[in-house]
Amino acid sequence: MVVLGAGVGGLAAGYFLARTGKYQVTVLEKELVIGGLCASFEHDGFVLDYGAHKLYSVIPGVLDEVTALMGERLLRLPKKNRLFLDGHLVDYPLKLGNLAKVLGPVRFLKLGLGYAIQVGAGLFRRNPPRSYEEYIIHRFGRPTYELVFEPLAEKVWGDPASLHPEMARTRLPASGGMDLILRLLGLRKETADTNAEYFFYPRAGFGDWPHALAEGIRAHGGKVLTSVAVQGLELEDGKLASVLTQYQGETKRFDCDYLISSLPLAMLGRMVFGDKDPEFDRAIEGLQFRHLLLVYISVKRPLVLEDQWIFFPQRNVVFSRLFEQKQMNPELGPANRTVITADQGRYLRAQNTFFLDDHVVIVEAGSLAEVKRRRLAFDLVLVNILAKTIVELCDEGLAETINPGGQIVCAGLIESQEDEVREALERAGLEVIERFQDKDWVGLACRRALPAHRSSGTTWPARNRNVMRPLFRS
């Protein structure tokens, strides 16, 4: 049994299968470390997670399994999180009393009216909600939806009108109108189903959970191998025979009877269907990836927040949540300093996303003007267009799209046009560092100079890349 990927998904599958005693389980992970999105990493004396993670489930048996596996390694923490609205911190789940204080009487009345309209309309409503949007509007009314839920859902999951109502139901389970009013007024307590008051967290950082699963696999005779990048599947007589991988620059084969994959679906699909299957291309057309940017802010204070995390639904705030790692366990960092993590997500279409080694390559239609407007800059820019257009783009600011110290490769030039392009590149501040030729075709590789105060060494781009890489996941 081969399991692809050692995130919690792959490891949990491997653990439960190994435990049956029926399978010889081997988990293959391309990174040096296991855990995927649930890993933790060490930086500057801190143990840090990839954003706020908590262990909780309303699915019967799940928490029993996790607590049995991890025992004393788990902390049981009271949940502390709020919303930041109009400059105020508001309890989450929402309480009417707090909203009234924050919004003032007129806006608060509007929310109440919106809610009353929905209660009235509910008496005549026959059809169940068809989307996240409808579910929330039916429960809270449109003004509350537009104030809190719509912008927050947009930031975290995407367009609420196209999200399945189940997304809302599992987070805000349906209950009678009176029950909701009592809970909003704070007169009825939340239950474990509506909003549990506690959760579990591994005392050594969230990444201890995948480690406990890996230990469980090994204890049952299985293996968890890292730095093994899965690249393809081999079939014999139409049946899966082995998994092809790269390990330390060499191809390595793992024979298997059964395969479980936790890799991104488009990646697995490519391995199964290749890149010439129109049906597969059509099937993944609508699939999207969520791109996540995490920014870690180090602060010279013992603690900054009173909550474990705070949601920021408002559109004028670019991130969706702030999280303080030491609120989970103060021992995860030095006593006199803390780290706050801000997360920001965005959706990318799978069809336009490719994986090249450990880099994610995103294809987007656009123009130089659009790249400049969004102030995007890259370590490597590849240009394969007409010489005349390259000259025009150089004059329009092509060099600004390259990070200082980064490179641009202009290929597919006709030999007779080389000088013209070379001059334009140099005029734009790009130094030609390599020329290559194949018959009549010429390519020029150029570098954008580092700013004067940074040009003495290579530390800036190298350090910048090292810091960003573990923080960027898609």
Ligand X SMILES: Cc1cc2nc3c(=O)[nH]c(=O)nc-3n(C[C@H](O)[C@H](O)[C@H](O)COP(=O)(O)OP(=O)(O)OC[C@H]3O[C@@H](n4cnc5c(N)ncnc54)[C@H](O)[C@@H]3O)c2cc1C
Please say which residue, 347 or 436, places its beta carbon nearer to ligand X: 347
Q: Which of 3, 25, 28, 180 binds ligand X (CB under 6 A)?
A: 28
CB of 402 within 8 A of CB of 408? yes
Please say which residue, 210 or 406, places its beta carbon nearer to ligand X: 210
Tell me the closest approach of the beta carbon of residue 341 to ligand X, in angstroms.
Answer: 8
HEC secondary structure over 161-221: HHCCHHHHHHHCCCCCHHHHHHHHCCCCCCCHHHHCCEEEEECCCCCHHHHHHHHHHHHCC
Contacts of 412 (CB under 8 A, 6+ apart): 384, 385, 441, 443
Q: Which of 37, 368, 377, 411 binds ligand X (CB under 6 A)?
A: 37
Tell me the closest approach of the beta carbon of residue 450 to ligand X, in angstroms.
Answer: 32
Contacts of 25 (CB under 8 A, 6+ apart): 1, 3, 14, 17, 18, 217, 220, 221, 222, 223
Q: Which of 2, 3, 38, 83 binds ligand X (CB under 6 A)?
A: 38
- Phi–psi pair at 439, nearest 5 degrees: 55, -125
Q: Which of 2, 6, 25, 85 binds ligand X (CB under 6 A)?
A: 6
Q: 45 in the Ramachandran plot: left (φ > 0), alpha (ψ -120 to 50) or beta?
A: left
User: Parallel, antiparallel, or unpaired: how do β-strands 239-247 and 288-299 relate?
Assistant: unpaired
Tell whether residue 230 is a contact of ligand X (CB under 6 A). yes
Q: Which of 1, 2, 5, 82 binds ligand X (CB under 6 A)?
A: 5
| Structural Rg of the chain based on CA atoms | 26
Tell whether residue 322 is a contact of ligand X (CB under 6 A). no
* Residue in 66, 36, 40 with CA at minimum distance from that of residue 52: 40
Please say which residue, 59 or 452, places its beta carbon nearer to ligand X: 59
Tell whether residue 413 is a contact of ligand X (CB under 6 A). no
Tell me the closest approach of the beta carbon of residue 264 to ligand X, in angstroms.
Answer: 7
Please say which residue, 53 or 155, places its beta carbon nearer to ligand X: 53
Tell me the closest approach of the beta carbon of residue 111 to ligand X, in angstroms.
Answer: 28
Tell me the closest approach of the beta carbon of residue 292 to ligand X, in angstroms.
Answer: 5
Q: Which of 133, 208, 307, 343 binds ligand X (CB under 6 A)?
A: 343
Please say which residue, 49 or 134, places its beta carbon nearer to ligand X: 49
Paired tokens of 53: 């993670």
CB of 26 within 8 A of CB of 222? yes
User: Which of the ranges 29-37, 71-79, 377-385, 447-455 carries the binding residues for ligand X, by CB under 6 A?
Assistant: 29-37
CB of 398 within 8 A of CB of 368? yes
Q: Which of 26, 40, 51, 394 binds ligand X (CB under 6 A)?
A: 51
Please say which residue, 33 or 445, places its beta carbon nearer to ligand X: 33
> How many residues in the shown chain lie near ligand X by CB under 6 A?
25
Measured over all CA atoms, what is the biggest interatomic distance in the chain, rounded to whole angstroms? 81
CB of 263 within 8 A of CB of 29? no
For 67, half-sphere exposure in the C-beta direction (CA atoms, 13 angstrom radius) is: 11
Q: Which of 1, 3, 9, 92 binds ligand X (CB under 6 A)?
A: 9
What sign results for the dihedral spanned by CA atoms 86, 90, 92, 96? Answer: negative
Q: Which of 52, 217, 310, 444 binds ligand X (CB under 6 A)?
A: 52
User: Which of the ranges 4-12, 91-99, 150-158, 218-226 carries the binding residues for ligand X, by CB under 6 A?
Assistant: 4-12
Tell whether residue 29 is a contact of ligand X (CB under 6 A). yes
CB of 346 within 8 A of CB of 360? no
**How far is CA 298 from each of CA 46, 326, 340, 464, rounded to the nearest angstrom?**
10, 12, 7, 16
Please say which residue, 129 or 210, places its beta carbon nearer to ligand X: 210
Please say which residue, 180 or 230, places its beta carbon nearer to ligand X: 230
Please say which residue, 31 or 400, places its beta carbon nearer to ligand X: 31
- For the stretch 54-62, contacts whose Cβ atoms lie closer than 8 Å and that sit 24 or more positions apart, written own/partner, are 54/79, 54/199, 54/200, 54/201, 54/308, 55/199, 55/200, 55/201, 55/202, 55/206, 55/209, 56/196, 56/199, 56/200, 58/170, 58/192, 58/193, 58/196
- Stretch 200-229: interaction string toward ligand X, x if CB under 6 A: -----------------------------x
- Stretch 273-302: interaction string toward ligand X, x if CB under 6 A: -------------------x----------
User: Which of the ranges 45-53, 215-223, 387-395, 422-430 carries the binding residues for ligand X, by CB under 6 A?
Assistant: 45-53
Tell whether residue 8 is a contact of ligand X (CB under 6 A). yes
Paired tokens of 4: 């692809």
Paired tokens of 185: 């007024």
Residues within the interface to ligand X (CB under 6 A): 4-10, 28-31, 36-38, 50-54, 229-230, 262-263, 292, 343
